[in-house]
Amino acid sequence: MSPESCGSALLLALPDDVFSLITRSLSPHDVCNLGLCRRSLYALVASEKLWFAQCERLGIVPQQELIEWRKVVSSYKALCRFLYTVKSLMGIWVHQNPELGNVVYVMPGFVSVVGCRIIPQELGPLGIEDGPILWAPVFEIFGDCDGCTTFFLHGREKGNDYLYPGSIKSIDRTCNVLLLEVEPRHHETKVKLLQSKSLDKEVPRKVCRSNSGLSRSHRVYNQSESTVPFSRLAFCDRRKLLEIITSQVRIKIPELGNGPLFPPIRTDEENFCKEMVLLYERRSVLIQKHKLGGGHVDWKTNPQLPSADPTQLELSEFRKTLERSSVLRHSVSEDGDNTQDNKKKTLGKYFSKSINQIFRKSNSSVPSNSSSSSDSKHAQLHEFLRSGDTIGLTLHATTVKLSSYRAWPNMHDSRFALYKLPLRIPTAEQEYSGLWGGTFGWPPGKPTEDKPGKALFFLLLSYEESQGQRMLIATKILEGTHYVLHPNGSAMFTVNVDEPSPDPFPWDLDADSVPVNVEHAYVGEGIANGYGFRYPGAKPGSLFAFQNGHLAFIWKETRAVLTLQRLNLQDLLKKGEKVAALPPIANFSYLTKSYSNVFAGFPNSSNCLSSPRFVHSLKELLDCASSSSPLMNNIDCLIVYIVTEVIPYLWWLIF
Q: Provide the 8-state DSSP code for 644.
A: I
- Distance in angstroms (rounded) separating the CA atoms of residues 119 and 101: 7
Residue 67 has a pLDDT of 93
Residue 182 has a pLDDT of 94
Residue 638 has a pLDDT of 56
Exposure string (b/e) for 457-466, b if CB count within 10 Å is 16 or more?
A: bbbbbbbeee
What is the pLDDT of the chain when averaged over all its residues? 75
Q: Is the pLDDT of residue 249 over 70?
A: yes
Mean pLDDT of 217-227: 47
Higher pLDDT: 508 or 93? It is: 93
Residue 302 has a pLDDT of 56
- The percentage of residues in the chain with a pLDDT greater than 70, rounded to a whole number, is 65
Q: Is the pLDDT of residue 393 over 70?
A: yes
- Distance in angstroms (rounded) separating the CA atoms of residues 569 and 133: 9
Residues near 24 by beta carbon (within 8 Å), at least 6 away in sequence: 53, 54, 56, 57
- Distance in angstroms (rounded) separating the CA atoms of residues 602 and 268: 38
Q: 107, 114 in Cβ contact below 8 A? A: yes
Exposure string (b/e) for 288-303, b if CB count within 10 Å is 16 or more?
A: ebbeeeebbbebeeee
Residue 11 has a pLDDT of 62
Q: Is the pLDDT of residue 201 over 60?
A: no
Q: What are phi and psi of 51, to 5 degrees?
A: -75, -25
Q: Is the pLDDT of residue 352 over 70?
A: no
Q: What are phi and psi of 179, to 5 degrees?
A: -110, 135
What is the band of 437 on the pLDDT scale with cuts at 50, 70, 90?
very high
* pLDDT tens by residue, 152-163: 999 999 889 999
Q: Is the pLDDT of residue 607 over 80?
A: no
- Distance in angstroms (rounded) separating the CA atoms of residues 198 and 518: 70
Ranges 175-184, 272-281, 438-447, most confident: 175-184
What is the band of 509 on the pLDDT scale with cuts at 50, 70, 90?
confident
Exposure string (b/e) for 97-107, b if CB count within 10 Å is 16 or more?
A: bbbbbbbbbbb
Query: How big is the chain, counted in residues?
Result: 655
Q: 220, 207 in Cβ contact below 8 A? A: no
Mean pLDDT of 352-379: 48
Residue 16 has a pLDDT of 65
Q: 460, 475 in Cβ contact below 8 A? A: yes
- Distance in angstroms (rounded) separating the CA atoms of residues 477 and 258: 29
- Distance in angstroms (rounded) separating the CA atoms of residues 598 and 3: 67
Residue 267 has a pLDDT of 77
Residue 603 has a pLDDT of 37
Q: Write out the H or E segment, with its range, that includes residue 292.
A: helix 269-293
What is the band of 80 on the pLDDT scale with cuts at 50, 70, 90?
very high
83-97, 340-354, 377-391: which has the minimum mean pLDDT?
Answer: 340-354
Q: Is the pLDDT of residue 366 over 50?
A: no
Higher pLDDT: 44 or 562? It is: 562
Residue 28 has a pLDDT of 80
Q: Is the pLDDT of residue 484 over 90?
A: no
What is the band of 634 on the pLDDT scale with cuts at 50, 70, 90?
very low
DSSP output for 194-229: HHHHTTSTTS-----GGGTTS-HHHHHHHHHSPPPP
Residue 647 has a pLDDT of 59
* pLDDT tens by residue, 12-42: 656 666 666 777 767 787 777 776 666 666 6
- Distance in angstroms (rounded) separating the CA atoms of residues 30 and 23: 9
* pLDDT tens by residue, 396-424: 999 999 888 878 888 988 899 999 998 88
- Distance in angstroms (rounded) separating the CA atoms of residues 470 and 452: 38
- Distance in angstroms (rounded) separating the CA atoms of residues 589 and 597: 15
Q: Is the pLDDT of residue 194 over 70?
A: no
* pLDDT tens by residue, 263-293: 888 777 788 888 899 999 999 999 988 888 6
Residue 334 has a pLDDT of 39
Q: Is the pLDDT of residue 323 over 60?
A: no
17-21, 37-41, 131-135, 338-342: which has the minimum mean pLDDT?
Answer: 338-342
Q: Is the pLDDT of residue 229 over 50?
A: yes
Residues near 148 by beta carbon (within 8 Å), at least 6 away in sequence: 81, 82
- Distance in angstroms (rounded) separating the CA atoms of residues 612 and 108: 38
Q: What are phi and psi of 590, to 5 degrees?
A: -85, 105
Higher pLDDT: 596 or 458? It is: 458
Cβ-count burial of 409 within 10 angstroms (0-12 exposed, 13-18 middle, 19+ buried)? buried
What is the band of 345 on the pLDDT scale with cuts at 50, 70, 90?
very low
Residue 326 has a pLDDT of 39
Q: What are phi and psi of 440, to 5 degrees?
A: -90, 145
**Closest C-alpha to 439, from 431, 430, 449, 451:** 451
* pLDDT tens by residue, 517-552: 999 999 999 998 766 666 788 999 999 999 999 999
What is the band of 510 on the pLDDT scale with cuts at 50, 70, 90?
confident
Residue 17 has a pLDDT of 67
Q: Is the pLDDT of residue 655 over 70?
A: no
Ranges 38-42, 505-509, 636-640, most confident: 505-509
